[in-house]
Every structure is written in structure tokens, then in C-alpha cells.
Amino acid sequence: MRARASLPRVGGRTVKNSLSLGISSMGNGTYNLNAGILSAKNEYLGGSSGTGTFTQTGGTNTVANDLYLSHGSLSGGSGIYTQSGGTNTVGNKLYLGSFTSDSSGSYNLSGGSLSSGYETIGLVGTATFTQSGGINAVSGSLYVGSSSAGGGTYNLSFGSLSTNYEAIGLYSRTGVFTQSGGTHTVTSKLYIGYSSPSSSGTYSISSGSLNVRSFYIGYHSRGTLHITDPAANITVSNLLSFGTDSTFTAVPGATIHMTGSALENISPDPDNLAGLSNLELVFEGGSTDIDPFEVAGQDLGAVMAGFDSNFALGTLTLGGTDIGQVQLIDSFDNQTGWEGSEALYVYNLNLGTGSYLDLNGLNLYYLNGSIDPAATILGGQLTPIPEPSTLILLGAGLVGLVGLRKKRLAN
């Protein structure tokens, strides 16, 4: 079925093969679903310079196979799906900006529910998914910016998004994810930048919740994570990884909760991870989980210089909703040209009741500490660093003692 005119639907309708809207340069197509059920094998919105628009305020739209926002094989065109209510079920894949670089697709979800097996935002063309409400449930993978041209953008401000596997910017493409609210859950792996050195992924979060099992920033590609507001609630349950070409920025007060998660850092550039100095990592994986923590700084001793461009962490907290257990490791050479073990410098160190810290023969230097007497510390000793004001007073005291000694000798 091909549609050029507006087709409002309030009752049931079954399309034997496919529904096509605006896939010709001769005209545009519009479908309005308010109630009832629409069923089709595939749905194509836009192609050959035409525009296809589907507006759903209620009812049920069921696509047995794939939904294309811009036709898969026709150049040009634009596909637009706007959903404020009802249920949209895609049996296999949802494509936005499909197969041709001059195509575009957009999905606007403010209410109702969308479910699919896979979603690709910007397959070859340019695409944007804007979610300001409702539910988007992806049982398989979500890709934002995929293949060799164009780009993809996902904006989440309210509602919930759940996926199993997710990649932002992959296969030489650019992907951008901006979260200013809502709940985003990834039950397996989230990659910010994936697979190719020419790929670029960016994730910016200012509010809402991000819950990830394994979180990779820059996986064999360029990946950037921005935490732009302390209101962002981030939880990682298995692995937080900073890759060789990762970038991390954070505002003061930014926090990531590690509920059984290891910290991996294979970046050779501390300036790219300067946001670590504003970050609090809260380890709260419980009594049965000891989390590896990769140290990456040059071991300069108990001096303030150790905090300068040296992977210093703002706050390390062991214990939150559950006790925290951490073992320091040095399995990657982050400091090329530096000989010797690497170390961890922390501005604020908090070890709660029942917490466990295995230094593993490595040095941890801290400025300010709150250490519970019942905390277990193994493999070495913690080293406090006197704050600059203390050093000045100490220096002044030493000068005074020297002067007094000289005076006594003179007498």
C-alpha cells in the first residue's frame, strides 16, 4: 500500500504486505493513528525526495518486520514518526536515516510505548531520536551513528529507555547521546565510540539515571563522557573502562556508583581525563565482591605535584548502600617513559565501616581522609599528604627554630 494523502485511522486495518508513505518525489504521505489496530509486514516512511509522516496518539501499530524512517533503497527523502500515545511494536528493526547519505529520519516519543528488536539511529543518513516521555524498550541493540556517513543523535529528557547492548558512534560514524532526565538502562554493554579509530561517540548527562553493566568510553575509537551536573545519577555494576582515546569531563560533585564494578584505565593521557579530579567514585558492591582499581599516576611520593596532570581522583569512597571492597592493581603502563610502579593520588579518601582496601604493594596518597577504625587495609600503608597551608606553617616553624638556635649559639 502506498499513501500520498492523509489517512486518519480510528479502527482496525491490516496491510497485507507493506505500508509506504511519501516514497515518491511526486508527493508526501501522512498517516494518523488515534485508536484501533494497524498491522503491516514492513513500513516505509519517506524516499526519493518525498516525506512520509506517521502520527500516533493512540491505538496499536504492529510491524512484523522492519520500520524504515526514509526508505531503505530509495535515495533522499525524510521519514518522521511522532508518538504521544498508544503502542508501537516493531518485530525486528527500526531504522532512522536508512542506507543513503542524503536521507533523514526522526522519531519523537513523548508518550505511549515503543518496542523493537534493534534500533539504528543514523544508519547512513542523518537521524535524530527525541524522547521526552513514554517507554522505548529495545530487546537487542541500539546503535546511534552507524556506518560510513551522516550521524545519529539521541536526546532523552524524560521517560525510560532500556537496551541490552548499545553503541554510540561506530564504524567510522559520529554518534551523540544527550541525557537531561529520564531513566536509561543498559543490561549488558554500553560503548561510547566503538570499533574504528575514525568513530566518535559522545555522551553528555546532566540529570536522570544511567544504569549500565559494562561502560566503555572509547573502545578502539574516540569516546567522550561529559557529566555536566551533580544531579546526574550514574551506576555501573561490572566494569567502567577508559580507553586509549577517551575523554572525560565532570563538574565538581559528580558521582559514579560502582556496585560491583572494576575500574579499568588504559589511557596514556591524564589531561584527557582531567574530569577525574572532580569525580567521586563510590564503591558499594558488598562483602562478596572485591573490585580491581587500575592506578595510573606517576609515583612522585607524598608531594602536591602528584596531583598535577597525573590521573588524580577527586574522592574515593568505600561504602555506600553496601560496604565497599577494592584492590589496587597496575596492569597497564599509563606512563610511557616512566619507570617504576604507578600510584593513586586522591584528594578525599573515605573508608566506611566494614570497608576493605588492598593496596597490593602500591602507594595511595591522599589529602583529606575519613577512615573508619574498623576498615581493613592490607598490602601497605596509606600515605597522607600535608596540605600546602600545613607545609607553610611547618616551614615557618623550622625557620623559627633555626633562628632560635643561632641566637642561643650567639649568646
Considering the domain boundaries, does residue 61 fall inside one? yes
Residue 359: exposure state from Cβ atoms within 10 A (0-12, 13-18, ≥19): buried
Considering the domain boundaries, does residue 136 fall inside one? yes
Considering the domain boundaries, does residue 64 fall inside one? yes
Q: Residue 196 has what DSSP assignment?
A: -
Helix (H, G, I), strand (E, B) or coil at 16: coil
Cα–Cα dist 138/165, whole Å: 9
**How do residues 12-27 score in pLDDT, each as one tens digit?**
567 768 999 988 766 7
Query: Which range scores top for mean pLDDT: 13-22, 45-54, 183-192, 396-405?
Result: 183-192
Domain with 350, as residue range(s), is 2-396
CB 279 within 8 A of CB 313: yes
Cα–Cα dist 95/98, whole Å: 6
Q: Is residue 304 pLDDT above 70, yes or no?
A: yes
Structurally, the chain folds into a number of domains equal to 1
* Confidence grade of residue 28 (pLDDT, cut at 50, 70, 90): confident
State phi, psi for 139 to the nearest 5 degrees.
-75, -25
Q: Which of 143-157, 227-241, 315-329 has the lowest mean pLDDT?
A: 143-157
Average pLDDT over residues 365-376: 97
Single out the residue of 282, 278, 276 nearest to residue 295, CA to CA: 276
CB 198 within 8 A of CB 172: yes
Across the chain, mean pLDDT equals 89
Average pLDDT over residues 321-349: 94
Cα–Cα dist 375/363, whole Å: 17
Pairing of β 13-14 and β 37-40:
parallel
Cα–Cα dist 214/229, whole Å: 22
* Confidence grade of residue 395 (pLDDT, cut at 50, 70, 90): very low
Cα–Cα dist 361/340, whole Å: 12
CB 326 within 8 A of CB 393: no
Considering the domain boundaries, does residue 346 fall inside one? yes
CB 180 within 8 A of CB 157: yes
pLDDT of residue 255: 98
Q: Is residue 9 pLDDT above 70, yes or no?
A: no
pLDDT of residue 123: 83
**How do residues 141-196 score in pLDDT, each as one tens digit?**
999 998 666 689 999 999 999 999 999 998 878 999 999 999 999 999 999 999 88
Strand partners, 33: 9, 56
pLDDT of residue 50: 86
Please spell the DSSP secondary structure of 304-372, one letter per residue: GGGGSSS--EEEEEE-SSS--EEEEE--S--STT--S-EEEEEEEEEE-TT-EEE-TT--EEEEEEEE-
Cα–Cα dist 145/122, whole Å: 5
C-alpha dist (Å) from residue 172 to 93, 175, 177, 189, 401: 21, 10, 16, 19, 66
Q: What percent of the chain has pLDDT over 70?
A: 87
Single out the residue of 232, 95, 214 nearest to residue 152, CA to CA: 95
Which element (helix H / strand E) includes 246?
A: strand 246-250
* Confidence grade of residue 1 (pLDDT, cut at 50, 70, 90): very low
Cα–Cα dist 203/228, whole Å: 10
Model confidence, pTM: 0.91
Considering the domain boundaries, does residue 407 fall inside one? no
The x, y and z cell numbers of residue 31, run together, are 498517516
Cα–Cα dist 181/205, whole Å: 8
* Confidence grade of residue 257 (pLDDT, cut at 50, 70, 90): very high
Average pLDDT over residues 381-393: 74
Q: Is residue 336 pLDDT above 50, yes or no?
A: yes
Considering the domain boundaries, does residue 404 fall inside one? no
State phi, psi for 24 to the nearest 5 degrees.
-135, 145
Query: How many C-beta atoms surround the C-beta of residue 337 within 10 A?
Result: 7
Considering the domain boundaries, does residue 411 fall inside one? no
Query: How many C-beta atoms surround the C-beta of residue 37 within 10 A?
Result: 16
* Confidence grade of residue 98 (pLDDT, cut at 50, 70, 90): confident
Considering the domain boundaries, does residue 188 fall inside one? yes
* Confidence grade of residue 274 (pLDDT, cut at 50, 70, 90): very high
